[in-house]
Chains A and B, each alone.
Chain A
Amino acid sequence: MWAGEIQVAINSDQDIVLARQKGRVMATELGFSTGDATLIATAISELARNIISYARKGQITLKMVNALNRQGISVIATDDGPGIPDIRQALRDGFSTSGSLGLGLPGVRRLMDEFEITSQPGRGTIVAVKKWRQ
């Protein structure tokens, strides 16, 4: 039996694996296909990785969301790190560029259906993404 909301503290690289495993389990229980569950787990991995790389620690919150007549999963990555000075730059999407440089945020946005980011230098970062079940 799973709770409505799961929070994973991100303090070390092992927490990255933990967060994405929990994400996959929740996605599967919510009825997402294996392919979609993989996309969600990959997005969580990247978001958790960003937290470790740029803020050293933070948190990933997973929960089910409902809207009209569809269900989905919400992933919120928060940290109290240095913040992102130029969000537009970070989100600039070069389709043919490698995602292994920088924050990989355009990639995360492609993996999910909805993407929202709030960040200010010195105030930390919140990235909220959602994926809806077909």
Chain B
Amino acid sequence: MSKSESTSKDSEARSNPGVDLVRSEASSELLRELVAHLRQNRTQLREEWVVRISETRLLTAMTKEEIFAEATSIYDSYVEALETEAFEALQAYARNLSERIIPRGVETHEVVGIVLLLRDVLARSLFEKYQTDFKKLNRILDAYEPAANRIANTVAVGFVQERERVIRQQQEAIRELSTPVLQVRERLLILPIIGVIDPQRARQLTEQLLRGIRTNRAKVVVIDITGVAAMDLTVANNLVQTVEASRLLGATVIVTGLSPEIAQTLVTIGVDLGKMNTVGDLQGGIEQAERLLGYKVEKLAEPR
């Protein structure tokens, strides 16, 4: 084993105190021996595993061909991990695999289930091979078991992390959908805000708006807060920051629907309302925006 390999094992052991760091030469040799056996009997063992998977009715969301294809790559990665103990690479593989199978509806208990089945199938194979030499069988299992358990753990954790990432992404998408940044005209964006805004939501809206300014190449943004009753100091400050940040992207912000209460809050935090572009209502704000953009605003006859 080269120096760098043992260093990586050291730090992995430090981060996982349950792993026995002491690995004698004999033990490494046993690991090599059993890995060779698992590779030699790859076809047969993999087949056995796939049979067990369908017997226990796991991965029902996938077809036989798909299961077989995934089984092949999982088997090889499993044996590879046994040999190299590169658990970080295995975790990356597990996340990658999860990315593919989560949309297919595969659940955590299924992934843990099939990995444990593989562990058992391989263990049985080792029993069979070394059944005549009880002492050797014990030493082989001493080498195999911790590594196999580590693999099962790693794959399960990788899968769960991926699931959590997907859930976070979906939550983010839902949040974005619930307050759209609207493009009404070329170069003009409207951000209508309704209801109660907490600091986290406010920050999210700002990020969304800034991205929207860039994507839509907006030069004017109308932020309508007619529907907002009050703001705490943090959110009020966030509004000011949004105006400043938008300017850095070359966009002018018009704030409409400013209630007297919110105007007071802004003054309290030191905002010079004279410098902020405000208009009474949304319609007026849009008209001013259009003027800024150089559109000619034709006023139609007053509706009766």
Binding site for B on A (CB under 8 A): 1, 3-4, 31, 35, 94-96, 134
Contacts and interface: CB of A to CB of B under 8 A. Distances in A.
Given A1-B8, A31-B165, A134-B168, A96 B15 contact: no
Contacts of A35: 207
Given A96-B271, A134-B168, A3 B237 contact: no
6 contacts: A1-B8, A31-B165, A95-B237, A95-B269, A95-B270, A96-B269
A35 B203 CA distance: 11
B85 to A, nearest CB: 13
B132 interface: no
Interface in B227-263: 237, 240
Given A1-B88, A4-B15, A96-B240, 7 more contacts: A1-B8, A4-B14, A31-B165, A95-B240, A95-B269, A95-B270, A96-B271
A contacts with B: majority SS: loop
Contact of B11 (A3, A31, A94): A3
A4 B11 contact: yes
A102 B45 CA distance: 68
Nearest to B236: A95
A96 B271 CA distance: 7
A86 B104 CA distance: 59
A65 to B, nearest CB: 14
Nearest to B171: A134
Contacts of B271: 96
Contacts of B269: 95-96
A95 B168 CA distance: 32
Interface in B74-91: 88
